[in-house]
């Protein structure tokens, strides 16, 4: 299998793998949003969907590991490529006009990515680690509180009491939008999906996705912050 | 004679004695430069002035001075070949600048393009990439086939021609924030991959050229598109997407 190793250690292979992990993460983001937005309309629907996602074996033992691999690969390779790219120009220009030929978002993926990574650390601390601990360490798969109601909605709303946390969530989603404004269409280019007929549409769809999904998450965070007191 | 008044300019020029020695920016003044002169002619005037002052002239690459050889490089005011689109430095004219301007003039910056002296860089990494696959083997045995005997779709012939207009100047590498050579290599891969004559060796070609590109120390493509904007020949990012497809398909189907 040396061809696999050779392919994925080449510049093009790595970009391909970055793009594949990105496409999976964007799909994940979409379904995460679809579930979270229900919390604005109905605690019951949100609880039912959360319980299904949290206990379904396909989600837990097939999709979740893929997600974790995709997240870890995407940020580890992001750092590896950034280091290699920095090394490819040892002496910097005294005068460089990047803004003349490319977008700010495209040149600063590492910084928008770093903020999203910091957000993920907080998000895992807030939700994922308590979930894993309750379900797989304490062995409580019921998803219920002491009063017999599902705990998911209560746990989420409680997190958004804190204005600092809510503020950081909002900031991280703004940076995520910037990351996606370049990342969405870039992922298609990296896998070679470019065609005069479809690429303009992909770019438009990418801009809509990059703004609408993070804006939706910001709305959810602010909604619960403002209504949960 | 031009009716324009001559330009007085401050030039910040990178001076470096050799590859091994450290370089630095030096400041020079030039006066009464005709707005109709080309940027390279302005550099010639600077050099004559330096020679008269008993100083060493600035070394820079140039050859045809009509935008086709790809020799003139120079990173001018933060852009490859300076302001303006679809031009090389020899096609840049001083009318693009204003009296009293300060102009930064630097060599292409990339680890794979080491500075030879001042503004001249060693672009032989491109030659080594070409030697790895940028050709079609023609093993003739007496008779050469008529080139027009093979039917080629018009749009493919046009795309191959567009890719083949790459002059290998290295502006893509210089402009890329990662010093990536993807636009150059993809143009060379494409011009052959699009034509029946090139398809015979297409798989080995793309694999070998990408391998050498990586070994030479160019960075990775992050699709910022700066290369396409700064390319004097307007080579399209379509070529990079095609090279990605060619490479991935060759990795799966190749030997």
Provide the pLDDT for residue B126. Answer: 98
Residue from the list B25, B75, B178 with its beta carbon closest to the beta carbon of A88: B178
pLDDT in tens, B189-205: 999 999 998 999 999 99
Q: Within a 13 Å sphere around the CA of A174, how many CA atoms are in the beta-carbon half?
A: 6
Distance, in Å, from the CA atom of A95 to the CA atom of B196, rounded to the nearest integer, reads: 44
- The reply to whether A61 touches chain B by the CB within 8 Å rule is no
The ipTM value here is 0.93
Residue from the list A12, A97, A186 with its beta carbon closest to the beta carbon of B247: A12
Does residue B16 lie within any of the structural domains?
Answer: yes
Q: What is the mean pLDDT of residues A40-62?
A: 94
Contacts of A12 in chain B (CB under 8 A): 210, 243-244, 247-248
A58-62, A84-88, B3-7, B169-173: least confidently modelled range = B3-7
Which domain range does residue B41 map to? 7-116
Distance, in Å, from the CA atom of B173 to the CA atom of B12, rounded to the nearest integer, reads: 22
Distance, in Å, from the CA atom of A36 to the CA atom of A42, rounded to the nearest integer, reads: 10
What are residue B80's DSSP bridge partners? B75
Residue from the list A85, A95, A191 with its beta carbon closest to the beta carbon of B178: A85
- The reply to whether B108 touches chain A by the CB within 8 Å rule is no
Contacts of A191 in chain B (CB under 8 A): 244, 248
Does residue B97 lie within any of the structural domains?
Answer: yes
Distance, in Å, from the CA atom of B41 to the CA atom of B47, rounded to the nearest integer, reads: 10
| Overall number of domains in chain A | 1
The pLDDT of residue B147 is above 90: no
The pLDDT of residue B140 is above 80: no
- The reply to whether B12 touches chain A by the CB within 8 Å rule is yes
Q: Do B226 and A102 touch (CB under 8 A)?
A: yes
pLDDT in tens, B10-63: 999 999 999 999 999 999 999 999 999 999 999 999 999 999 999 999 999 999
The residue among B11, B26, B244 with the most chain A CBs within 10 A of its CB, best to mutate, is B244
Q: What's B162's domain CATH number?
A: 1.10.1060.10
Does residue A149 lie within any of the structural domains?
Answer: yes
- The reply to whether A83 touches chain B by the CB within 8 Å rule is no
Provide the pLDDT for residue A229. Answer: 62
- The reply to whether B235 touches chain A by the CB within 8 Å rule is no
Nearest of B231, A180, B79 to residue B239 by alpha carbon: B231
Tokens of B129: 């990439």
Distance, in Å, from the CA atom of A145 to the CA atom of A88, rounded to the nearest integer, reads: 55
Q: What is the mean pLDDT of residues B102-112?
A: 98
Q: What is the mean pLDDT of residues B137-156?
A: 83
Does residue B145 lie within any of the structural domains?
Answer: no
- The reply to whether B208 touches chain A by the CB within 8 Å rule is no
Contacts of A96 in chain B (CB under 8 A): 75, 78
Does residue B72 lie within any of the structural domains?
Answer: yes
pLDDT band at B3, cuts 50/70/90? Answer: low
Pairing relationship of beta strands B102-106 and B120-121 according to DSSP bridges = unpaired
Residues B128 and B67 in one domain: no
Does residue A6 lie within any of the structural domains?
Answer: no
Residue from the list A84, A90, A100 with its beta carbon closest to the beta carbon of B78: A100
Contacts of B179 in chain A (CB under 8 A): 85, 88-89
Contacts of A100 in chain B (CB under 8 A): 78-79, 83, 229
Provide the pLDDT for residue B143. Answer: 76
| Helix orientation angle between A109-123 and A163-190, rounded to the nearest 10 degrees | 130
Q: What is the mean pLDDT of residues B168-188?
A: 98
CB B102 within 8 A of CB B178: no
Provide the pLDDT for residue B192. Answer: 96
Does residue B167 lie within any of the structural domains?
Answer: yes
| Overall number of domains in chain B | 2
CB B225 within 8 A of CB A101: yes
Q: What's B50's domain CATH number?
A: 3.10.20.30
Q: Do B222 and A85 touch (CB under 8 A)?
A: yes
Other C-beta atoms within 10 Å of A207: how many?
Answer: 15
Q: Within a 13 Å sphere around the CA of A146, how many CA atoms are in the beta-carbon half?
A: 0
Element (H, E) at A213: helix A199-227
Residues B40 and B158 in one domain: no
The residue among A6, A95, A187 with the most chain B CBs within 10 A of its CB, best to mutate, is A95
Percentage above 70 pLDDT, chain A: 99
Q: What is the mean pLDDT of residues A9-27?
A: 96
Does residue A127 lie within any of the structural domains?
Answer: yes
The pLDDT of residue A1 is above 90: no
Provide the pLDDT for residue A209. Answer: 98
pLDDT band at B88, cuts 50/70/90? Answer: very high
Residues B43 and B155 in one domain: no
- The reply to whether A122 touches chain B by the CB within 8 Å rule is no
What are residue A144's DSSP bridge partners? A150
Tokens 């020079």, residue? Answer: B28
Residues B15 and B131 in one domain: no
Nearest of A162, A144, A140, A163 to residue A153 by alpha carbon: A144
pLDDT in tens, B162-176: 999 999 999 999 999
pLDDT in tens, A156-179: 999 999 999 999 999 999 999 999
Provide the pLDDT for residue B139. Answer: 77
CB A100 within 8 A of CB B79: yes
pLDDT band at B5, cuts 50/70/90? Answer: confident
Q: What is the mean pLDDT of residues B218-245?
A: 97
The pLDDT of residue B144 is above 80: no
Residues B213 and B112 in one domain: no
Provide the pLDDT for residue B4. Answer: 66
Percentage above 90 pLDDT, chain B: 91
Residues B71 and B186 in one domain: no
- Nearest-Cα distance to chain A for B112, in Å, is 7
Q: Residue A137: CB partners within 8 Å, gap ≥ 6?
A: none
The pLDDT of residue A184 is above 80: yes
Does residue A77 lie within any of the structural domains?
Answer: yes
Nearest of B92, B85, B34, B101 to residue B60 by alpha carbon: B92
Residues 118-157, chain B, touching A (beta carbon < 8 A)? none
Residue from the list B109, B217, B241 with its beta carbon closest to the beta carbon of A192: B241
The residue among B215, B223, B240 with the most chain A CBs within 10 A of its CB, best to mutate, is B223
Does residue A102 lie within any of the structural domains?
Answer: no
The pLDDT of residue A54 is above 80: yes
pLDDT band at A90, cuts 50/70/90? Answer: very high
The pLDDT of residue B71 is above 70: yes
pLDDT band at B178, cuts 50/70/90? Answer: very high
Does residue B2 lie within any of the structural domains?
Answer: no
Which domain range does residue A55 map to? 12-85+110-227
pLDDT in tens, A91-138: 999 999 999 999 999 999 999 999 999 999 999 999 999 998 998 888
Q: Supply the mean pLDDT for chain B.
A: 95
Other C-beta atoms within 10 Å of B77: how many?
Answer: 19
């Amino acid at each position: 299998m040396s061809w696999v190793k050779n392919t994925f250690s080449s510049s093009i292979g790595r970009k391909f793998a970055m793009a594949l992990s990105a496409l999976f993460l964007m799909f994940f983001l979409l379904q995460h949003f679809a579930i979270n937005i229900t919390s604005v309309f109905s605690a019951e629907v949100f609880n039912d969907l959360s319980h299904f996602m949290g206990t379904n074996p396909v989600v837990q033992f097939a999709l979740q590991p893929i997600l974790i691999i995709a997240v870890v690969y995407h940020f580890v390779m992001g750092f590896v490529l950034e280091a290699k790219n920095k090394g490819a120009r040892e002496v910097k220009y005294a005068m460089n006009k990047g803004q003349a030929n490319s977008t700010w978002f495209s040149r600063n993926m590492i910084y928008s990515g770093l903020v999203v990574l910091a957000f993920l650390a907080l998000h895992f601390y807030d939700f994922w680690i308590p979930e894993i601990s309750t379900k797989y360490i304490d062995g409580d798969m019921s998803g219920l509180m002491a009063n017999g109601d599902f705990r998911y909605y209560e746990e989420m709303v409680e997190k958004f009491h804190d204005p600092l946390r809510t503020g950081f969530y909002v900031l991280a989603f703004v940076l995520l939008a910037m990351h996606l404004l370049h990342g969405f269409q870039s992922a298609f280019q990296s896998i070679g999906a470019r065609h005069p007929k479809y690429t303009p549409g992909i770019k438009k769809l990418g801009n809509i996705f990059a703004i609408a999904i993070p804006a939706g998450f910001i709305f959810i965070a602010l909604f619960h912050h403002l209504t949960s007191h | 004679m031009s009716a324009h008044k001559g330009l007085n300019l401050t030039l910040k020029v990178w001076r470096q004695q050799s590859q091994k020695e450290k370089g630095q920016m030096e400041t020079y003044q030039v006066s009464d430069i005709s707005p109709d002169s080309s940027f390279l002619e302005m550099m010639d005037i600077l050099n004559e002035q330096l020679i008269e002052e008993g100083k060493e002239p600035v070394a820079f690459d140039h050859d045809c001075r009509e935008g086709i050889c790809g020799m003139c490089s120079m990173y001018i005011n933060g852009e490859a070949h300076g302001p303006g689109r679809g031009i090389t430095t020899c096609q840049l004219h001083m009318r693009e600048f204003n009296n009293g301007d300060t102009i930064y003039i630097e060599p292409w910056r990339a680890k794979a393009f080491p500075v030879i002296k001042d503004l001249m860089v060693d672009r032989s990494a491109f030659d080594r990439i070409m030697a790895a696959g940028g050709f079609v083997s023609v093993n003739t045995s007496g008779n050469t086939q008529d080139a027009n005997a093979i039917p080629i779709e018009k749009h493919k012939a046009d795309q191959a021609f567009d890719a083949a207009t790459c002059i290998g100047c290295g502006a893509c590498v210089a402009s890329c924030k990662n010093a990536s050579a993807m636009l150059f290599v993809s143009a060379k891969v494409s011009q052959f991959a699009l034509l029946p004559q090139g398809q015979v060796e297409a798989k080995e070609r793309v694999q070998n050229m990408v391998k050498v590109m990586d070994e030479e120390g160019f960075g990775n493509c992050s699709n910022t598109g700066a290369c396409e904007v700064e390319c004097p020949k307007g080579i399209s990012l379509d070529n990079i997407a095609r090279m990605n497809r060619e490479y991935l398909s060759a990795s799966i189907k190749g030997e």
